[in-house]
Amino acid sequence: MKTIDELLAEGVDNKRVFVRADLNVPLAEGVITDDGRIRAVLPTIQALAGAGAKVVVASHLGRPKGAPDPAFSLLPAAERLGELLGAPVAFAQDTVGPAAHGAVDGLQPGQVAVIENLRFNPGETSKDDTERGEFADRLAALADVYVGDGFGAVHRGHASVLDLPARLPHYAGYLIATEVGVLRKLTDEVQRPYAVVLGGAKVSDKLGVIDHLLEKADRILIGGGMVYTFLKAQGHEVGTSLLQEDQVPAVQDYLKRAEANGVEFVLPVDVVVAPAFPDLKAKAPTHPATVTVDAIPADQQGLDIGPRTAALYAEKLADTATVFWNGPMGVFEHPDYAEGTKVVAQALLDSPAFTVVGGGDSAAAVRILGFDEQAFGHISTGGGASLEYLEGKTLPGLAALEN
C-alpha cells in the first residue's frame, strides 16, 4: 500500500485531505476518559497540516442508530484534538451536509476540521452496496485525497473504510503503517518463544484467534471471564461465574489440539471470587476470597485470577521473545480485582520480549493502572482489528488501501 510519506513527497499544499481516523474514545457524561486513540493519529494530522494540507478528519463514535444522537457526538473528541494540536479545530455538526461543506470550504492550508460522527448517516454502516456507495460519493466531494489511519475500524466494511478509498487517491497513515508492521511480527516474522495472553469476558469472542494461534503460538495463557468456560471444560464447577456452556465442546477440542500440536495451554490454578459483581462506580471494598479452581463455591463468581496464577503467568512470560496480550485478567476497574491484570502487565515490562498490547480493554488497563505506555513494545489502537488480523482474515480497510 502507498504510504503518507509518498503522499507528502508528491505534495499536499492546499489539497483537501480526508483522514479516516479512529476517534472512538470512551466518554463518561460527555468527558473523555482515555484519549489514547486521538493521540495515536496526531503524527499523521500534524504531518499533513505542516505540509499545507486542508485536513478533514472523520470518525465514528459508539453505535448510534444511523441518526444524530447527542450522546455520540464527536464534539468532545474534536475539542481534545484541538488541545493536543495547540490550534483551533473547526467542527461540523453534520457529516456531508451544509455544515460539513462550510467547515471544509473555510479551511486555510494547514488547518483542520472534524466532521460529525459518520454513523449518524445510515449509509456508513449499510449492508446495501448502493446506499453505502452513495454516502461514499458525498464524502468524496469533501476531499481530493484519502488517508486511512483509523486502524480500529479497518475490520469493518463501512463506507468511509471500504468504499471511499476507491473514489480518491488513497494512502495509509502513520498509525496504520505501524500497526501492520507490528502485526507482521506476530504472524510472518515471529521471534520465539511466542506467548499469547488472552482475557476478556466471552470465549466466543476469541475462538477464531485461538483456532489460528494453535498453529502459531508456543504458549497460550487464559484469564478473564472467558477462563471459566475453560475450567468447566476441564470438569471444574464454576459457581455463578460467567460461563458459555455452549462453547464447552469447542474449548475441549482446542485443549486436545493444543496438546497434539505441542502448544502449552496455561490455565489458572486459583481465582478470586465474590458473591456478586462489584459496583465499579463506588469501588467500595467487597471482601473477596481466593480459592483454588477446584473449590469455587456454588454461590460465588470468579472475578480475577488468583495470586498463585498471576505468579505462574509471570514465570511463563519471563523467557519469551514475543508476547501478544489481548484482554484483562479480571475486573481491573475495581481495585479488589485488578491485581491479576497488574501482574501480567508488569511481567510484560520485565520480559525481554517484544510485547504487543492488543487494544481495547487491555490498552485501557495499561493506562488506568498507571503503567508507562512507552515501556511496551506497542499498544494497538484496535483490539478487534488486531484479533481478526491474527485470525488470518482479510480486513476490508487494509484491502481497500492496498488496492
Q: Is 316 a catalytic residue?
A: no
CA distances from 159 to 102, 163, 395 (A): 22, 5, 14
Q: Is 219 a catalytic residue?
A: no
Please classify residue 277 by burial: count the beta carbons closer than 10 Å to its beta carbon, then call 0-12 exposed, 13-18 middle and 19+ buried: middle
Q: In what order do the strands lie in the sheet with 219-222?
A: 264-266, 219-222, 194-198, 322-326, 354-357, 378-379
Q: Which listed residue (223, 360, 382, 397) is catalytic?
A: 360
Left if phi > 0, otherwise alpha if psi is -120 to 50, otherwise beta: which for 91? beta
Q: Which listed residue (39, 167, 185, 202) is catalytic?
A: 202
Q: Is 37 a catalytic residue?
A: yes
Q: How far apart are CA 355 and CA 256, in angstroms?
A: 27
Which residue type, as a one-letter code, is found at position 28? A
Q: Is 360 a catalytic residue?
A: yes
CB atoms closer than 10 angstroms to residue 400: 21
Q: Which listed residue (37, 132, 219, 342) is catalytic?
A: 37
Q: How far apart are CA 197 and CA 226, in angstroms?
A: 12
Task: Give the dihedral of Cα atoms 12, 15, 16, 21; nearest 10 deg.
Answer: 0
Q: In what order do the strands lie in the sheet with 270-274?
A: 289-292, 270-274, 301-305
Q: In what order do the strands lie in the sheet with 89-92?
A: 89-92, 112-115, 54-58, 16-20, 145-148, 170-172
Nearest Cα to 21, choosing from 381, 394, 360, 364? 381
Axis-axis angle for helices 339-350, 360-368 (nearest 10): 90
Contact between residue 334 and residue 304 where contact means Cβ atoms under 8 Å apart: no
Residues classed as catalytic: 37, 202, 360, 384
